[in-house]
Structure 1
């Protein structure tokens, strides 16, 4: 049997590349696997040889020790690969297919999946609605920052690319379809971005950059991106965004007015989440800072897209309320302005096929927008460190040297 290696969470601040089990079509006992999921047969699944798998900001929350993720968890929910084995019940996906894997694990059978709400599938995680690869409290499914991975419900889930050669030529763009591009797009779309909109994007990490590029695709007239890191803001500027360094200004509304002539935007996106910082030089960590700021700068009746991650347990938070996911959100402000809030994980399958067509046609240039940077599997621990320091890059792991 072939070997397998993967990126493993080994405790707060630490990941290692280790030998891990070669996948088969069963979910076996392991770190974070609920008792009810142990031994779950997946003849509806496939084994993928991973071509690319990306480091995500959501992974970084776990690696920082800001979740209850168990040590030994194999990380990685952004996966693109080649099918090398198909289960008995797989009818349409074939060996040799190259496909993107939506990060949401969804059965395709429950009422949520039938309504395109694949982010809250009722059947893949016995502990709560919604499942994902290599992530805390998401059903225990083994992550894909590895050489090989098992993907269940393959006929329903896999986005198979129509042309193998074209897929490999565009692989740095197509690898973003598993999560980051649909997530950024969902943030902009659910915020109501349309032709002529003025948009504020909080966060210039990869999801924020993807949201900014998505806002441009949706027709926004002005896209303003805020962050603490000048390097990341320069990356946003590289494809036509305007920027604000929120560490240098206490009041975001004043900076919006300096750019637009008015102190509010039509809509806003939170691409930061619970590890937010307050504005100004002495802001410090303030988990609700982004939510409150985007309510402040979004016009009455506007929509707020919130793809940024918020958790039910944050052991690294500075106060007991935040450790339980209870934040000091100015809900009265949002209520008074009749804002619409759209939260939760992104239903990637709702968007990924159309975004694939945008990539293949040359309409979307997502790899350039997020500064896709290829590294080897062995370089993954350094990639996590660089990403944690604010590198303006989206790290793409190439486990087999397929892209060289």
Structure 2
């Protein structure tokens, strides 16, 4: 190992103490200043990003990758707004989440403290550079950012803005450290730093997640692929279900909370599927379906098990007709990725059964899968959507970048009687 990443991590670890020691007013001012610096640096960010997009397109990057990579003025403003929303949230540090008095008079409390140093390993999404930094700093952590080579210029330009804000408040720039050399050997080095890194969060394609999980010696929370389902129940309102389908699939197909599979109860298939297939075709979406689905449209391609397991991240959807709720749930259990599941139904009992039987990080009842997003769920921004059942599951905001510890307050209690 070269020691390059260890040097960054040592500096970031030292800087974390300064961030954790700030009061809430200072951390609020820091995030507000970061938002302002992003807007002030918008021209440089967009110029860097334009070159990244050109290079990625020249190397044959997919439409989904280019969509995630591309920034425009609206997206830069969205980053700044996300930082301001995080800044305005209640400070999680020091919060007493639980307190009880034991029979012996001890006051036992749970208190939120920072995780420490968080390593963020991600691909193609330059907005993660700003949003991950803001969330980590809000929670009193330092962050080590390793973005993908396809976004190297964009990430560096954004990091420059964040560093300017840290300097303005006389805080160490190393609290937000960017691994600018994107060689894979440096990821391996980072994943071995058990004495410095408290948590690694990989966010990207399946190959990246697997690589991190297989090589890490530090704790990892996986932000895995989104094989998201919409189940249209026999008691669904058809117009509602159509709206959920098109918004979930067509609004931005290259993101992890986009729909990938449509399941339709057989008793509503005659009324729903012809309209659904026409709407999908009008939106430019390729449909792959089972025999029952293909009976409504001969142009639908035959779906395979690989299709039902796929995260297409494109204008493609797999469709299957099921006999009942139990069959839909069995399909989701077999092919799902614990990300997002949606049910369209007017039957409250069926909705509740669906919620109770699915294990995914978010379950939507008559609401689009696209709402499984930190900003939409009130977190301001997200560091990612955890599909690992640890202390965080689903969109991770500032609060989930803290951990609870015990604080015990007494007045001299001992566990054992003194021995005379």
Q: Which has the higher helix share?
A: 2
TM-score, normalization: structure 1?
A: 0.26
TM-score, normalization: structure 2?
A: 0.25
The structure number with the bigger radius of gyration is 2
